[in-house]
Amino acid sequence: MKVKDETLPIWTLPNRLSLLRILFIPVILVCMVYGFPFSAFILFIVAGITDGLDGYIARRLSMSSKLGLYLDPIADKLLVSSVLITLTYENLVPLWMTIILVCREFLINGLRSFYAMEGIAIYPSLAGKLKTTFQIIGIAAILFDWGSGLLRNTLIDRIGLYILYIALFFSLYSAWFYIIAIFRPVPEK
């Protein structure tokens, strides 16, 4: 946990990419609900690429900002949670898995927001980044299977679900360490 000094303008390219990812969400959901799952798959892939791209650009060009620190994970959580909920509605992802993944996101982001009010930034861990990566890959595989017109429960669909199980593991693993780090007593100087 660190306090980050803000010296950049708000609308850096990484922040714009995060905002674009948020704007993709309703379009992806409309495509899923109204029978265009392959279009949803394509848009979801583009949104997933913006996730990796905004972080890469922010680090590579030293464009990390306070807004980006909070906007990027919120965009990820909104994208993944909304698509997971819709896939659960379509009986493509188990309800219990979606509940655990979405509740974890609310818990960790709530704790992050609480500490942000105190001026303390909680940066994503490697396990948290792996969780997001596996979620995006697993969801993309399930969307591809659904959108390709193949029968449900094909090999691609099952692989996507297995990848979501890996994401679930990293989700719980990273949540455990976030909670430990947050509630660990701070040594006095």
Are 163 and 138 in contact by the 8 Å Cβ rule? The answer is yes
Is the residue at 2 inside a domain? no
Nearest partner of 53 among 61, 135, 179, 118, judged by Cα:
61
Instruction: Give the CATH number of the domain where residue 122 resides.
Output: 1.20.120.1760
Any idea what the Cα angle at residue 134 is, between residues 89 and 54, rounded to 5°?
Answer: 105
Q: Which of 49-53, 101-105, 113-117 has the lowest mean pLDDT?
A: 113-117
Is the residue at 7 inside a domain? no
Bigger pLDDT: 187 vs 38: 38
pTM, to two decimals: 0.83
Give the number of domains in the chain: 1
Is the residue at 92 inside a domain? yes
> pLDDT tens, 155-180?
888 899 999 999 999 999 989 988 88
pLDDT for position 148: 76
